[in-house]
Amino acid sequence: MEKRFLVAGSIFGGSAVALGAFAAHGLKNILTVDNLRIFHTAVEYQFYHALALMITGVVSSKIRTTQIKWSGNFFITGILLFSGSLYCLSVFANLSFMGMITPIGGLCFLAGWLLLCLSSLSYKSS
pLDDT above 90: percentage of residues in the chain: 80
Residue-level pLDDT at 126 = 65
Tally of CB atoms within 10 A around 58:
13
Provide the 3-class DSSP secondary structure of residue 1: coil
Please state, rounded to an integer, the average pLDDT across all residues of the chain.
94
| pLDDT, tens digit, 9 for 90 and up, residues 72-85 | 999 999 999 999 99
Provide the 3-class DSSP secondary structure of residue 50: helix
| pLDDT, tens digit, 9 for 90 and up, residues 95-123 | 888 889 999 999 999 999 999 999 998 87
Query: How many helices (H) and strands (E) would you count in the chain?
Result: 5, 0
Provide the 3-class DSSP secondary structure of residue 63: coil
d(CA 71, CA 109): 9
- Domains of the chain, by residue range, sit at 3-122
